Amino acid sequence: MSAPADVTLESIAARAARAGLALRGALHPPAELLPPVAAAHPVGTLVLLGFTGGLQWPVFSASAEAGDGRPHPLDRWSRRTIGALASEVGATALYPNDGPPWLPFQRWARAAEPVHPSPLGVLIHPDFGLWHAYRGALAFSARLTLPARDARPSPCERCTGKPCLTTCPIGAVTAEAFDTTACDRFVRASADNDCRLRGCAARARCPVGAAYRYGEAQARFHMAAFIGR
């Protein structure tokens, strides 16, 4: 996990963008957030990679994995793409679906970016809203130079209308909890309901990051993955 001397956060961001990924923040992980690979190799920096809205979607949707009809195309594309990037920059690739035990990607994200819990369980970002995802991370032994952490508060704190709490057609989203079982049952029940075809209705009503909302194809892909179809 020894990075070449010319590897910087800026150069990683540029390489990631060419591969169809967004740099999603970075951190010098404290002891309680170190990944298991640190037992054999020191980890000085974690760099998170993922999607922001639909900006990276065309790269994946044009990939061999997206069209080969095999299971888990996005996971397979992420492993190929991030694995290649890790080899280029002298890092170890880590993925959210490695487990159990599962890697603490949400805790890493909260330490790296201004993301916060939302009523839907998805971390909310002040710019991207609920329309973003983490596809993997690069673990470096070196402590790369990082900018000061963006510490903006949760946009949910200043949202007065909170439409995400009143839009779900079956009331699965409340201020107290998100009933994933009821949501799953509802979406599975009909092949032509709007949530299944266009994505979660409550998520779509969130006013934050409206410019980054997923298109129908992307939303439908993720809903199919949510219900395992």
The residue ranges of the chain whose pLDDT is under 50 are: none
Q: Which of 72, 55, 21, 49 is nearest to 214 (CA)?
A: 55
Q: Are 221 and 70 contacting, i.e. CB atoms less than 8 angstroms apart?
A: no
pLDDT digits (tens, 9 = 90+) for 156-214: 999 998 999 999 999 999 888 889 899 989 998 888 888 988 899 999 999 999 999 99
**What CA–CA distance (Å, rounded) separates 54 from 180?**
24
User: What is residue 6's predicted lDDT score, i.e. its pLDDT?
Assistant: 78
Sheet holding 132-140, edge to edge: 22-27, 45-52, 132-140, 92-94
**What CA–CA distance (Å, rounded) separates 169 from 175?**
15
User: What is residue 229's predicted lDDT score, i.e. its pLDDT?
Assistant: 62
User: What is residue 216's predicted lDDT score, i.e. its pLDDT?
Assistant: 93
User: What is residue 5's predicted lDDT score, i.e. its pLDDT?
Assistant: 62
